């Protein structure tokens, strides 16, 4: 069979068949799709791995980084035997204990995350196949020959066209189903095996996300790894409120694309000319990747306040991270809602088959709150026409009070404190509302940047005070004018960039690759994400970002009032700051780690997951930070990074995910690796100490970011550079030298020059001795040892 995957099912046509029992003419037999692949590289040991295929690798990881469980609920409520009390060693009716139950819930969360991205990729692929055909090539430009590293690594095949991607998604769907099945009552019962399956389905999640992003990049003309992707605007103040506005919320860009296209085709110009098109959450990133004139309203935390502002004239919701009360909230501001995805219909009538004009009339006349329209092209027409007609009708509708109405609303407050108790972050909403009742709105306004926009304060208020709206009203000026600069999501890291930085990353001379990813449940003002990103880019780390975190970075301003995206270059280079794109762009970050192993170190990629993950864990100083992680998708994204050997730090709310992967450095055996050159076992110190860690404060997070980029493979120069950053940050925030220096300093040459005397004195007092084998070829895989002892 010719190169690449064969498209579609194999067809056998038999003109005339005669056997002892059968006689047939023109018999056509279809036997599914066969994977026929050119031999671009010898096939590795685990192509298309099943749940068990990489279990031994998982157990190696979990031997060092043991699951740490913090049950969020002591009971199991999943079957009719229950509720079962699993407190402190009790078992449920099915025999499960609390430890296994935590692993089970973690697996469930990761399955939800992986299923969501896989379904997203499938839905988008079907749309793109209809528009572009299955032979549309996967071309990421001349500087990306290693096209889909995760797919190549996990599946062992190299897709050539978008039609091939369907086959990859078949695999993802199958694995998600298997892993989800393992959570059924009376299936898996061991915590470590639950974790292994969570790691597996999360690896699959990265494949699915890669498919989702690559298919939209290659068809829709998104930037293909462009370090100079344009800067665009973000913030609630970035839209011209005198123009009609369509607001797209969610993650699936198909309807947004059709809105922009409909405007172009119907002489309505680009977004921003006659009318505005803006996005909220990840679909906003992808809209600006398609049309840089589109606007980004902000992360998910800004959703409720923006809907209530009444600025949008039509809202289109697609999938994921949409407020499930969006229709009800929008109805109060007379904003019609179009639900464009079968996974989120919100009880709206399905008008997909109705003519455009009929649907628009129903929406404009407020006969219905909204409509389900499954045809993205029709969504484009309906949303545009509806916004144009609605704008003059509903100019003054909003549910956020005016400044002079705040005091009246707040005066109902009995100061019961229920709002504060219901706030995920214990924000002093009670004190702020009480102050407003007495005429001082400053405390309310101060909460604006801290509030994660969940609205739980209002749900708890017995006086039905619209507290979230009061916060927005008190910060009215900021809400209406805040506008920042963010770089459009650039997509993959180029092969040429990897060739330039592969060596300094692996040797430690670029101190690390830091990835700010995940959602908007931030424990501190959203500017803190930008503060951290700025600090690490300034220090010469390569800083990458996706999703709501990539947005939050834009809200930070330096002393000259510049966004970090205006200060740092957009390349995968020392001191670069990359907005990679939306949630489904996350694999470009893990792909960069894979490509370092493949392109720089020439490790085989095809179906060779374990060896590449071993390489990344021991050599690539990368660390993910999901400071505001909230969703199940964030759980699977992080766990997928973990299986590849990349540690992740989460904000303190992350302990509600119930599980961390923590090392105990005093267990020296678990922190020992093979030296592939000598065959000896060598203690490597805390490099890295944990695989999933929680930081309580931003300062702690920064210190641990520097620490978790340390790897056993660092050269002395590299270790010295990494320790310089670690020691500087530790001293700044903790006030003295870190106590684990004796384990991290292998020879005197590792000691940061600026702290030489101080560190030497400290080491001497601690009885430090130079490590016997400071330079090793580290691996957890005994089969890679070249010399047996």
Partner 1 sequence: MSSILPPRTSPYQTANIPGPQMALSPDKAPTVFATMVKRAKNPLLIVGKYVLEFDLEGKKLIEYAIEISKKKNIPIVATTTTLKGFIERNYPVVEMSLVDIVNRLQDPTFTVTPDKEPPHDLVLFLGITYQFASQGLSTLKHFAPHLRTITLCKWYHPNANWSFPNMDDKEWKKMLEEFIQAL
Which residues, numbered 499-528, are part of the site for partner 1 (CB under 8 A)?
A: 523
| Shortest Cβ 728–partner 1 spacing (Å) | 14
Q: Mask: binding to partner 1, 705-734, rule CB under 8 A, as x and -?
A: ----------------------------xx
Nearer to partner 1, 24 or 70 (CB): 70
Question: In this chain, which stretch among 36-44, 374-382, 625-633, 696-704 interacts with partner 1, using CB under 8 A?
Answer: 696-704
Nearer to partner 1, 104 or 369 (CB): 104
| Shortest Cβ 300–partner 1 spacing (Å) | 19
Nearer to partner 1, 41 or 431 (CB): 431
Question: In this chain, which stretch among 175-183, 409-417, 443-451, 570-578 interacts with partner 1, using CB under 8 A?
Answer: 409-417
| Shortest Cβ 76–partner 1 spacing (Å) | 10
Asked whether position 575 contacts partner 1 by CB under 8 A, the answer is: no
Tokens of 455: 């609205």
Q: Which residues pair with 577 in a beta bridge?
A: 543
Question: In this chain, which stretch among 266-274, 423-431, 489-497, 593-601 interacts with partner 1, using CB under 8 A?
Answer: 423-431
Q: How far apart are CA 635 and CA 626, in angstroms?
A: 10
The H helix count followed by the E strand count for the chain is 29, 23
| Shortest Cβ 519–partner 1 spacing (Å) | 16
| Shortest Cβ 697–partner 1 spacing (Å) | 5
Asked whether position 696 contacts partner 1 by CB under 8 A, the answer is: yes
Q: What is the dihedral of CA 516, 522, 523, 527, to 10 degrees?
A: 70
Among 24, 27, 70, 181, the residue binding partner 1 under the rule CB under 8 A is 70
| Shortest Cβ 67–partner 1 spacing (Å) | 10
Among 68, 516, 555, 755, the residue binding partner 1 under the rule CB under 8 A is 68
Tokens of 347: 């009880």
Q: How far is CA 146 from the centre of its chain?
A: 22
Question: In this chain, which stretch among 13-21, 67-75, 572-580, 590-598 interacts with partner 1, using CB under 8 A?
Answer: 67-75
Residues 6+ apart with CB under 8 A from 81: 92, 93, 94, 185
Question: In this chain, which stretch among 83-91, 120-128, 174-182, 501-509 interacts with partner 1, using CB under 8 A?
Answer: 83-91
Among 463, 697, 773, 775, the residue binding partner 1 under the rule CB under 8 A is 697
Nearer to partner 1, 99 or 305 (CB): 99
Cα angle 3, 147, 9 (rounded to 5 degrees) comes to: 40
Other beta carbons less than 10 A from residue 263's beta carbon = 23
Query: Which residue, 152, 36, 123, is CA-closest to 612?
Result: 152
Asked whether position 761 contacts partner 1 by CB under 8 A, the answer is: no
Phi, psi for 130 (deg, rounded to 5):
-65, -35
Q: How far apart are CA 534 and CA 253, in angstroms?
A: 29
Q: How far apart are CA 502 and CA 498, in angstroms?
A: 5
Among 371, 660, 721, 727, the residue binding partner 1 under the rule CB under 8 A is 660
Tokens of 204: 């699959």
Instruction: Give alpha helix (H) positions in 541-586.
Output: 547-554, 564-567
Tokens of 673: 């690796």
C-alpha distances in angstroms, 306 versus 401, 481, 633?
13, 13, 24
Question: In this chain, which stretch among 9-17, 79-87, 602-610, 637-645 interacts with partner 1, using CB under 8 A?
Answer: 79-87
Asked whether position 739 contacts partner 1 by CB under 8 A, the answer is: yes
Nearer to partner 1, 34 or 70 (CB): 70
For residue 87, give the DSSP letter: G
- CB-based contact 63:691 (threshold 8 Å): no
| Shortest Cβ 694–partner 1 spacing (Å) | 5
Residues 6+ apart with CB under 8 A from 618: 645, 673, 711, 712, 713, 778, 779, 780
Nearer to partner 1, 40 or 72 (CB): 72
Which residues, numbered 631-650, are part of the site for partner 1 (CB under 8 A)?
A: none
C-alpha distances in angstroms, 85 versus 72, 95, 127, 285, 366?
13, 12, 47, 44, 49
Asked whether position 10 contacts partner 1 by CB under 8 A, the answer is: no
Among 56, 87, 266, 754, the residue binding partner 1 under the rule CB under 8 A is 87
Which residues, numbered 89-148, are part of the site for partner 1 (CB under 8 A)?
A: 89, 98-99
- CB-based contact 547:280 (threshold 8 Å): no
| Shortest Cβ 699–partner 1 spacing (Å) | 5
Question: In this chain, which stretch among 180-188, 422-430, 566-574, 624-632 interacts with partner 1, using CB under 8 A?
Answer: 422-430
Question: In this chain, which stretch among 8-16, 600-608, 630-638, 692-700 interacts with partner 1, using CB under 8 A?
Answer: 692-700
Q: How far apart are CA 373 and CA 383, in angstroms?
A: 10
Q: Under rule CB under 8 A, how many of the chain's residues touch partner 1? A: 49
Q: How far apart are CA 87 and CA 97, in angstroms?
A: 9
Nearer to partner 1, 99 or 722 (CB): 99
Nearer to partner 1, 129 or 638 (CB): 638
Is residue 286 helix, strand or coil? Answer: helix
Nearer to partner 1, 444 or 494 (CB): 444
Q: How far apart are CA 541 and CA 520, in angstroms?
A: 23
Task: Mark residue 292 as left, alpha or beta (left: phi above 0; alpha: psi -120 to 50; beta: remaining).
Answer: alpha
Q: Mask: binding to partner 1, 424-463, rule CB under 8 A, as x and -?
A: x-x---xx----------------------------x---
Strand (E) or helix (H) holding 515? strand 513-516
- CB-based contact 245:307 (threshold 8 Å): no
- CB-based contact 154:175 (threshold 8 Å): no
Nearer to partner 1, 140 or 729 (CB): 729
Among 694, 720, 751, 759, the residue binding partner 1 under the rule CB under 8 A is 694
Q: How far apart are CA 167 and CA 148, in angstroms?
A: 14
Nearer to partner 1, 668 or 786 (CB): 668
C-alpha distances in angstroms, 742 versus 464, 508, 686, 723?
58, 19, 11, 12
| Shortest Cβ 453–partner 1 spacing (Å) | 18
Among 420, 531, 595, 722, the residue binding partner 1 under the rule CB under 8 A is 420
Query: Which residue, 673, 493, 688, is CA-closest to 596?
Result: 493
Among 375, 500, 566, 699, the residue binding partner 1 under the rule CB under 8 A is 699
Nearer to partner 1, 301 or 585 (CB): 301
| Shortest Cβ 729–partner 1 spacing (Å) | 10
Q: Which residues pair with 16 in a beta bridge?
A: 25
Q: Mask: binding to partner 1, 326-345, rule CB under 8 A, as x and -?
A: --------------------
For residue 600, give the DSSP letter: I
Among 656, 668, 756, 783, the residue binding partner 1 under the rule CB under 8 A is 656
| Shortest Cβ 461–partner 1 spacing (Å) | 12
Among 4, 417, 742, 774, the residue binding partner 1 under the rule CB under 8 A is 417
Residues 6+ apart with CB under 8 A from 239: 245, 276, 278, 295, 297, 311
- CB-based contact 627:549 (threshold 8 Å): yes
Question: In this chain, which stretch among 147-155, 323-331, 510-518, 687-695 interacts with partner 1, using CB under 8 A?
Answer: 687-695
Q: How far apart are CA 563 and CA 257, in angstroms?
A: 27
- Interface residues with partner 1 (CB under 8 A)? 68-75, 85-89, 98-99, 414-418, 420-422, 424, 426, 430-431, 460, 523, 652-653, 655-656, 660, 662, 664, 693-697, 699-700, 703, 733-736, 739
């Amino acid at each position: 069979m010719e190169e690449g995957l064969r498209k579609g099912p194999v067809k056998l046509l038999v003109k005339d068949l005669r056997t002892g029992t059968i006689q047939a003419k023109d018999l056509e037999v279809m036997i599914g799709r066969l994977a026929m692949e050119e031999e671009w590289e010898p096939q590795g040991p685990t192509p298309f791995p099943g749940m068990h295929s990489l279990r031994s690798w998982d157990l190696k990881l979990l031997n060092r980084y043991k699951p740490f469980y913090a049950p969020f609920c002591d009971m199991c409520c999943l079957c009719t035997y229950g509720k079962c009390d699993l407190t402190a060693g009790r078992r449920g009716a099915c025999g499960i204990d609390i430890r296994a139950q935590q692993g089970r819930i973690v697996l469930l969360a990761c399955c939800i995350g992986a299923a969501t991205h896989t379904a997203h990729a499938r839905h988008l692929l079907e749309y793109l196949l209809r528009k572009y055909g299955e032979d549309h090539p996967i071309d990421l430009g001349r500087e990306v020959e290693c096209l889909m590293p995760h797919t190549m690594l996990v599946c062992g095949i190299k897709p050539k066209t978008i039609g091939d991607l369907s086959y990859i998604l078949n695999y993802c769907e199958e694995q998600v189903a298997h892993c989800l099945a393992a959570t059924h009552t009376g299936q898996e019962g061991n915590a470590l095996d639950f974790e292994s399956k969570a790691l597996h389905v999360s690896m699959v999640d990265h494949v699915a996300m890669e498919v989702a992003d690559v298919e939209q990049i290659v068809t829709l003309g998104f930037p293909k790894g462009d370090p100079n992707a344009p800067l665009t605007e973000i913030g609630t103040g970035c839209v011209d409120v005198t123009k009609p506005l369509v607001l797209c919320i969610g993650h699936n860009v198909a309807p947004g694309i059709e809105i922009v296209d409909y405007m172009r085709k119907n002489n309505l110009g680009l977004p921003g000319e006659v009318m505005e098109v803006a996005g909220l959450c990840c679909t906003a990133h992808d809209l600006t990747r398609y049309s840089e004139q589109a606007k980004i309203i902000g992360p998910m935390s800004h959703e409720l306040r923006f809907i209530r502002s009444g600025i949008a004239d039509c809202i289109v919701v697609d999938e994921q991270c949409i407020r499930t009360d969006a229709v009800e909230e929008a109805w109060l501001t007379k904003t019609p809602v179009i639900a464009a995805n079968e996974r989120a219909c919100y009880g709206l009538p399905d008008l997909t088959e109705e003519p455009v004009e009929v649907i628009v009339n129903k929406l404009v006349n407020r006969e219905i709150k909204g409509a389900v329209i499954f045809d993205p092209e029709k969504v484009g027409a309906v949303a545009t026409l509806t916004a144009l007609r609605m704008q003059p009708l509903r100019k003054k509708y909003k549910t956020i009070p005016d400044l002079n109405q705040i005091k009246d609303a707040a005066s109902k407050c009995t100061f019961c404190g229920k709002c504060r108790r219901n706030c995920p972050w214990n924000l002093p909403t009670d004190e702020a509302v009480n102050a407003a009742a007495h005429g001082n709105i400053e405390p309310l306004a101060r909460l604006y940047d801290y509030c994660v926009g969940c609205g739980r304060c209002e749900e708890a208020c017995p006086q039905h005070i619209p507290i979230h709206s009061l916060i927005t009203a008190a910060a009215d000026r900021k809400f209406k004018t805040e506008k920042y600069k963010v770089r459009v999501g650039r997509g993959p890291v180029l092969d040429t960039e990897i060739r330039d930085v592969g060596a300094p990353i692996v040797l430690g001379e670029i101190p690390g690759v830091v990835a700010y990813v995940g959602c908007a449940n931030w424990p501190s003002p959203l500017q803190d994400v930008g503060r951290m990103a700025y600090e690490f880019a300034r220090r010469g780390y390569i800083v990458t970002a996706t999703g709501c975190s990539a947005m939050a970075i834009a809200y930070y301003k330096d002393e000259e009032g510049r966004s970090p995206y205006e200060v740092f270059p957009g390349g995968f280079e020392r001191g670069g700051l990359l907005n990679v794109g939306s949630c489904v762009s996350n694999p470009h970050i893990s792909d960069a780690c894979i490509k370092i192993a493949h392109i720089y170190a020439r490790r085989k990629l095809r179906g060779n997951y374990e060896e590449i993950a071993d390489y990344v864990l021991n050599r690539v100083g990368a660390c993910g930070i999901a400071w505001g992680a909230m969703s199940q998708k964030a759980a699977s994204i992080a766990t997928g990074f973990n299986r590849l050997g990349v540690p992740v730090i989460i904000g303190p709310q992350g302990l509600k995910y119930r599980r961390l992967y923590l090392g105990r450095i005093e267990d020296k055996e678990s922190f020992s690796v093979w030296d592939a050159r000598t065959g000896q076992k060598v203690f490597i110190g805390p490099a890295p100490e944990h695989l999933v860690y929680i930081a309580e404060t931003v300062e702690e997070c920064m210190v641990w970011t520097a620490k978790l980029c340390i790897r056993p493979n660092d050269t002395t120069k590299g270790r010295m550079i990494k320790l310089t950053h670690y020691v500087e940050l530790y001293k700044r925030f903790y006030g003295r030298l870190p106590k684990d220096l004796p384990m991290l300093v292998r020879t005197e040459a590792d000691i940061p020059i600026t702290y030489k005397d101080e560190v030497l004195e400290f080491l001497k007092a601690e009885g430090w001795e130079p490590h016997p084998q400071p330079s090793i070829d580290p691996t957890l895989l005994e089969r890679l040892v070249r010399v047996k002892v």
